[in-house]
Structure 1
């Protein structure tokens, strides 16, 4: 008589499940310093504060706190062309020291490209974005902008689902940024 294969299948299923959990734990651990806890530099003085899109209330509040602390006098805000966060609808854009513009394309690379119109090579610019986007923003602005940039994470509440999504999305978008470089691409799918 043949031996019952069920115990072997059960062991393999258990091993596969444990392996999958170990891989997920490893990916999560590797992503912690990249997406969850990126270095947060101290900023004392800059020529410009740049809020990259979307202009959430938290990013705007952080920009105002930096401006009030004397870091920079002027704030540039990347806004979509239409909708609630557009320059026409966002009341923050009405302040004298704030410039709201839509980059072309409305992507991180487009935002880096747009910076050339507002900061000269060597100018110090503080860039505000949400935490999981910091690593990719640093890479793109270091590669594509002439100004000296410091990317500061903005602490926006993200639930577990959004963190999982951002791990995958930011990794794929980073690979795309590395492959595509700074060449203009009007139809970017990943901002």
Structure 2
């Protein structure tokens, strides 16, 4: 009669396995923490404190689309101060991808584009309705009108990505200027993610 014995893991091996699991957990945790710190650090310099250009006289002020956060009024104030003889507004709100977010409900852009000014104001619907489409329109108008220098207005978190995208479209001098904008914690967090996604996409796109 044969005796059957259950094979059991040596007791001494169990602490070793636990230590290995704990070591792997620590390495993974440390890696994630380092990656998060790096992401925040890079994101801070790109989205919170990006390189901006000083405002100078230019051929046009070109306003990128986004939330109606004061960028339009800021651009108009620059024109009123004599920095450029014309202001160009991107208007992707009615049938662009902004439409589903309800940015254009009260005819704001219609009034803006058809207002009475002492300088030239025009609007366009970018194709595609992205920073890339806006860069294409800037390049087209610059070529048609002989622009040499343009002020591009957007809000702070978008400055770095706008520079990266639009510089591919036009070789002329572009001054990237942020309108005074206040964001809450949720707004900053959202832009860290949104702008980062846009950067990744732009890496694989030309103008």
TM-score norm. by structure 2 comes to 0.74
Given that 1:54 and 1:85 are in contact with CA atoms closer than 8 Å, whether structure 2 keeps it comes out as no
Alpha-carbon separation, structure 2, partners of 1:143 and 1:38: 18
The answer as to 2:41 corresponding to 1:33 is no
Q: Of 169, 173, 176, which aligns to 1:151?
A: 176
Largest Rg, 1 or 2:
2
Structure with greater contact order relative to length (CA < 8 Å, sep ≥ 6): 2
- 1:16-165 aligned at under 5 Å gives the runs 16-54=28-66, 56-80=68-92, 82=94, 85=104, 89-90=108-109, 91-96=111-116, 97-119=120-142, 120-165=145-190
3-state SS of 2:70 partner: helix
Change (3 A) 1:148 1:176: same
Q: Partner residue of 2:196?
A: 171
Question: How much is the aligned-residue C-alpha RMSD, in angstroms?
Answer: 2.7
**Comparing 77-86 with 54-63, which one deviates more in the overlay?**
77-86
- The TM-score with structure 1 as length reference comes to 0.79
Residue by residue over 1:145-173, the C-alpha shift from the partner in whole angstroms, topping out at 9 and shown as x without a partner, is: 25432111223222333323322332232
1:14 is displaced (CA, Å) by 5.5
Task: Tell me, yes or no, if the aligned pair for 1:55 and 1:77 is still in contact at 8 Å.
Answer: no
The Cα shift of 1:24 comes to 1.1
Structure 1 residue runs of 5 or longer lacking an equivalent are 183-191
* Contact persistence 2:48–2:157 (CA under 8 A): yes
8 Å contact from structure 1 (residues 38, 153) kept in 2: no
